[in-house]
Structure 1
Amino acid sequence: MTTERRPANPVVGDVCAELFASLPRSDQRRKGELYVRGLLEAEGRKSVRNIAAHVGGRAAEQSLHHFVAASTWEWAPVRAALARYLEHTLRPRAWVVRPTVISKAGTESVGVAPRFVSGLGQVVNSQVALGAWAVGEEHGCPVNWRLALPGRWRESIRSRSPRIPESELAAHPLDCAVRVADQLQGWAGPPHRPVVLDLADADPVAVDRRLAGTPYICPVGEATRVRCADPALAGAYGRELTARRLLSTARTLCRPVTWPDPVTGRLRTTLVAGARVTLGEGTAPVLLLGEWTDPRERPRHYWISRLDRTPLPAQLRLARLTRTVDADFAGISLPVGLTDFSGRSYAGWHRHTTLASVAHAVRVLSGQAAGQRTACPA
């Protein structure tokens, strides 16, 4: 019994030729395209064995394993080429930086450690990867990645790969997030896109300090302490309050905003209001935003931003680009094997993730992303 292969995606060759031009050898460029085709077409988990079985049989397995885990090609130039390619094709509205928790059964995969995951409310044996995504009108694509590395992994990688810069081996998610965003912006060049930082547990003072000079928007908790710097809120002006308490005085200023929700495929209308606040002594004012589904209740979400010239409705739509990432991660990234790498190789993880990001881009740019999104929690 034979299995009928789907026709080869004609976009793969063009995209790979553009993005793998930095690879110094023709055999590396050929293997890069083979690997991407395997990520797009192989069934099941995208292990090297499954990819090799699909694109070249058992004879290709050792060759592709070496290409990913032990070869000499650098992943940063490929990511830089992807950033520039997406700048012209996807025309991103923003860079969305978000953490991805990758559960792992064992302890041997690079960067794995037991971590408390606030979104799940429990300790999970996992990797935490910070991804920077280029997000356009309908879809997003991951471009740049960092692993948040616990101490034992930093020491292990440093001893085995002393040429890796210390700045690459960050442990804290905020450090990783800032570095992937800065690097992506440098690759893509002007115009500078706003950064949508999806780090729910980040210290807002640290965020504002680390992203100085960068237009950004970042979620904060309702208990975040702020000082009202908005003369329009006369009763609260100059007082230190929680974000929830301050925005409760501003809800009469709410205005409706309609935005497309890629998770549900429907238009949603919510309410937004904002107030100028400071986050601490000597800090410049930022904008505190709140989003309501019912003005009689408390806001459901809170953000701080430095998007001074952007109207409130547009700021809310930018903040909601995280929903595009949620939908495309579930509908495109997971099927092309973004989280499927197993092994202790730090370079191998980065190369596999880079190639999976290229496969994701092929899906988006070839129009195959339509209809592939799967439902995520609202």
Structure 2
Amino acid sequence: MTTTYETPDMATGRPPGDLSRLLFGHLHRSDQQRWGHVYLQGLMRTHGKKTVRRMAAVVTGSEAASASLHQFVNASPWEWAPARGELARWAARSLPVRAWTLAPAVLPKRGACSAGVHQRFLPESGRTVNCQLGLGLFLDAGQAHVPVDWRLFLPPRFTHDEAVRDRAKIPATTRAQPLWDHALRLVQDMTSRSDGRTAPVVADLTSLCDVMPLVRRLQGGGHAHVLAVPGQTTLAGPELPPGERESVRSLLLRRGVRHPAGPGRQVVSYDTPVRGQRQDGEHTGGAGRLLAEWDAGSGRPGRIWLTNITDRHPAELLELARSPRGARAAIERMGENFGLLDFEGRSFPGWHRHMTLVSAAYAYSTLEGINH
């Protein structure tokens, strides 16, 4: 007797046929299209750990089909970028998008062979983990945060050592990049897919990288943004003598203006220029603002954000700055219910294909929940 792993409530869900055809319609082989649909259904319908064996049993009734699912994700030569482009456009048409949110996903791994795996200290938990670090772009619609694109952080050994590169199937054109550059490329790719309809970029990457290069590139590229910055970051404020700089925390403490932000809440802000850098290296500038929720108990600002959006009330911007919380909650749900942590391969292409399918499964389920 074949063991199944499907729960009754999952089994009643409408199969995502339309989305599957949209994502895999560019594939020339019908077997690839079929296995893409099976994998997508397996992620949505299989209870517990999403191994290819369990997913094959749920969707096809035969655990033997797991070899074909494994082949489809890890070895079948299909490109994930077109599928992500279709996913992004489909989600953008279906949601009232208010922000593009960047959020990291720490994926614990065993061993040292999986693409991008490395030791990383996590300030939030105070421990070091063996992990992959993915960075996702989410469409924030307030009540939903839908992932549409991913980048995988690669330590230098994965691109400098040819044997390691070959074992992880990392393309020869792929280079190790700082995390802020991955963030910038996610925004650039989304811009190219959005037909000119952009949204403010919101992120809190302060525990992972220097965010000021990202601020400068987004500013130089004309992207609206709300980015968390460390309190010790220094800026040249308009009230400071030429050449002098002051920390953003000090600027808000000494020169900030407080605004009401609801019952018992205040937001403190300080207007300051934002420096930018275009792709050709030319420096630009524009109006900007520091803002933070005011902690009345300590008499200090909380998490500090830098933005170039100056035509909206600081309290409204602070609400937008909560977007990374929603993206982090989405990542947690993807890990619990949609197989984010269950990839059974080690290769760079396999990781990207799995993340594409997990994102599609989560996006479909989320939008179905909103619309029904």
Shorter-normalised TM-score: what interval?
Answer: 0.7 to 0.9
Query: Aligned in 2, Cα 1:237/1:319: closer, same or farther, shift over 3 Å?
Result: farther
Indicate the residue corresponding to 1:262 in structure 2: none
Amino acid across the alignment from 1:178: L
Cα distance in structure 1, aligned partners of 2:267 and 2:179: 28
Q: How does 1:348-359 map to 2 (within 5 A)?
A: 348-359=350-361
Shift of 1:87: 0.9
Indicate the residue corresponding to 2:314 in structure 1: 312
Indicate the residue corresponding to 1:54 in structure 2: 58
Deviation readout 1:33-85 (Å, 9 max, x if unpaired):
11111111112211222212222222211100000000011100000001100
Indicate the residue corresponding to 1:216 in structure 2: 225
Indicate the residue corresponding to 1:175 in structure 2: 181
Cα distance in structure 2, aligned partners of 1:368 and 1:110: 35
Cα distance in structure 1, aligned partners of 2:64 and 2:212: 54
Cα distance in structure 2, aligned partners of 1:38 and 1:186: 31
Contact 1:80/1:188 (<8 A) preserved: no
* Percent identity (aligned): 36
Q: 1:257 aligns with which of 261, 270, 273?
A: 261
Are positions 1:136 and 2:141 aligned together? Answer: yes
User: Counterpart of 2:16 in 1: which secondary structure?
Assistant: helix
Shift of 1:279: 6.8
Contact 1:101/1:129 (<8 A) preserved: yes
User: Counterpart of 1:32 in 2: which secondary structure?
Assistant: helix
Indicate the residue corresponding to 2:123 in structure 1: 118
Amino acid across the alignment from 1:139: A
| Structure 2 residues not aligned, in runs of 5+ | 277-282
Cα distance in structure 2, aligned partners of 1:61 and 1:103: 23
Query: Aligned in 2, Cα 1:127/1:269: closer, same or farther, shift over 3 Å?
Result: farther
Indicate the residue corresponding to 1:65 in structure 2: 70
Indicate the residue corresponding to 1:271 in structure 2: 266
TM-score normalised to structure 2 length: 0.86
Cα distance in structure 1, aligned partners of 2:179 and 2:148: 17
> How many residues align structurally?
354
Q: 2:13 aligns with which of 1, 9, 12?
A: 9
Shift of 1:362: 1.3
Cα distance in structure 1, aligned partners of 2:156 and 2:371: 38
User: Counterpart of 2:236 in 1: which secondary structure?
Assistant: strand
User: Counterpart of 1:221 in 2: which secondary structure?
Assistant: coil
Q: 1:191 aligns with which of 188, 193, 197?
A: 197
Contact 1:170/1:176 (<8 A) preserved: no
Shift of 1:272: 1.5
User: Counterpart of 1:150 in 2: which secondary structure?
Assistant: coil
Q: 2:35 aligns with which of 22, 31, 34?
A: 31
Cα distance in structure 2, aligned partners of 1:91 and 1:339: 29
Deviation readout 1:260-303 (Å, 9 max, x if unpaired):
xxxxxxxx974212212357897735321121242761011101
Amino acid across the alignment from 1:148: F
User: Counterpart of 2:146 in 1: which secondary structure?
Assistant: strand
Shift of 1:160: 6.1
User: Counterpart of 1:105 in 2: which secondary structure?
Assistant: coil
Q: How does 1:284-295 map to 2 (within 5 A)?
A: 284=285, 285-294=287-296
Cα distance in structure 1, aligned partners of 2:342 and 2:157: 22
Contact 2:145/2:327 (<8 A) preserved: yes
User: Counterpart of 1:62 in 2: which secondary structure?
Assistant: helix
Shift of 1:17: 2.0
Contact 1:222/1:242 (<8 A) preserved: yes
Q: 2:26 aligns with which of 22, 25, 43?
A: 22
Shift of 1:368: 7.5
Q: How does 1:235-254 map to 2 (within 5 A)?
A: 240-251=245-256, 253-254=257-258
User: Counterpart of 2:28 in 1: which secondary structure?
Assistant: coil
User: Counterpart of 2:149 in 1: which secondary structure?
Assistant: strand
Amino acid across the alignment from 1:277: T
Cα distance in structure 2, aligned partners of 1:295 and 1:287: 24
User: Counterpart of 2:261 in 1: which secondary structure?
Assistant: strand
Shift of 1:359: 0.4
| Structure 1 residues not aligned, in runs of 5+ | 231-235, 259-267, 371-378
Indicate the residue corresponding to 1:93 in structure 2: 98
